[in-house]
Amino acid sequence: MRAWSTLVVVAVAALAAVAAGGASAHRALPRRAGTGRRLNVVVILSDDERVDGTSVMRNVRRLLVRHGVTFANYHVTTSECGPSRASILTGEYAHHTGVVDNFGLHSFPAFDANSTLAVWLHDAGYETALVGKYINDYTIYGHHKTAPGWDDWQVMDSIPMERYYGYAIDDNGHRQEYGYAPRDYSTTVLTNKAIGFIRRARKPFFLYFAPVTPHLPAIPAPQDRKKLENIGPLHTPSIDEANIGDKPWSYWHKGLLRTAAQLYDGDVRRRQLQSLLSLDRSVARIVRTLKQRHVLNNTVILYTSDNGFLWGEHRLGGKLWPYEESTHVPLIVRAPWTKRPRVSNEPVLNVDLASTISALAGVKPGGPQDGRSFVPFLEGRKAPWRKAYLLEYLGRNMLKVGGPPAYVAVHTARYLYVEYRRGWRELYDLRRDPWELDNIADRPRYRALQASLGRLLHRLWLQQPQTKTA
């Protein structure tokens, strides 16, 4: 408990520093050597899509995977919408951005919108657009103005936010209401806005396209309601895990999942996959529009998600947890120079996106970075890289509603080690136990290993972000 207390003290200090400090100045770097042109960048960010969501997305596989690099070992550092999106836009862990929860004072009110990827690219001459979801709670506390750095602001109202019908969009300061007609389906509406930006934007441009698909309630588009109805159930050892007695939180989830719970998890899975079919069509429209404008060969497209989702693994649902289904999400990057599909197994994180996109744009990040650019992997080169990384959830205790208490964790190529605020510990040997079924924490045989991982965890957690990226 003393170790956790130390982390909490440092976290409070870090949050105070975030609130008081400003971002460092940045300067533009030279254009990409030999091209004379600056790359356009399109980020397509889904909402709550786990790594296997793209299995039903034919256009993603055809237009992105076959022409790009798939990062098979990509994880989010906090498996929650708001904290993850703040990390994507800044390149910092949640305990450095201050956004550690979806709701309350440690959600959007803690976010420094003056130093983000949009600001850095805008100030370097990019035309920027945010179409879709920004950061949870951004309008709840009276924040209705366009955030700094965005030239085109087409953002869903966060009261409520994850809606497919009956929602509002802030169209550059003008509130637009949408109802319940088929034409109001939010993925379609937002895609139309994204396409409009691509057609009219001056070059170079940066598009951050973030529909709410496939976030619950995961309502599929009208033409997709009858699709995937016969999809079979998941059959993995972690689904409705038979023995969770070694899990420190097991007394909150006594007994196997009831039939109703199993049916609900299956229905959630089907609806989420059905809703991804509309986003798959959006990907095709975006690629087609880039091609029609003759800029596809000068544009990098990144497809990813803010966090994963559990469909009954370990008798759990939702996100937040440190398990693979919760933190492991897709990352596919189509780049003009990629001649054939490649797979990278390097451990890449959501905190790496800001540094990477900045490098692609020839811009130095305007704030300190916990992440680093993975452009070398996009170009087929090797580079020194991390061997371990941090996972964290520092929000409210969610046990009573099926989520975890606060925790910090370290993930290596072989092990996952978790320290919860309540004093709980989990340790998994991912080589021998890829489904994370056997918690070996606190066993005498693994005492030295656990102590070593604990020291590594605390070293990573206390490490300060770098002002320069490698």
Q: Rounded CA gap, 61 and 55, in Å?
A: 8
Neighbours of 203 (CB within 10 A): 15
Helix (H) or strand (E) holding 191: helix 186-200
Scanning the structure block, which residue is given the tokens 């899509």? Answer: 49
User: Which residues lie across from 446 on neighbouring strands?
Assistant: none
Give the DSSP letter string of 47-61: SS--GGGGGG-HHII
State the Cα torsion 205-33-115-352 to the nearest 10°: 100
Phi-psi map region of 264: left, alpha, beta (phi>0 left; psi -120 to 50 alpha):
alpha
Decide: residue 62, CB within 10 A, 0-12 exposed, 13-18 middle, 19+ buried.
middle
Q: What angle do CA 25, 34, 351 make, to 5 degrees?
A: 40
Residue in 42, 60, 63, 81 annotated catalytic: 81
Q: What is the arrangement of strands in the sheet containing 425-429, beginning at the earlier edge strand? A: 388-393, 407-412, 415-420, 425-429
User: Of 89, 65, 87, 60, which is closest to residue 76 (Cα–Cα)?
Assistant: 87
- Expressed in angstroms, the distance from the first to the final Cα of the chain is 35
81 part of the active site? yes
Q: Rounded CA gap, 264 and 300, in Å?
A: 38
User: Which residues lie across from 74 on neighbouring strands?
Assistant: 348
User: Of 9, 28, 25, 6, which is closest to residue 17 (Cα–Cα)?
Assistant: 9
| Residues taking part in catalysis | 81
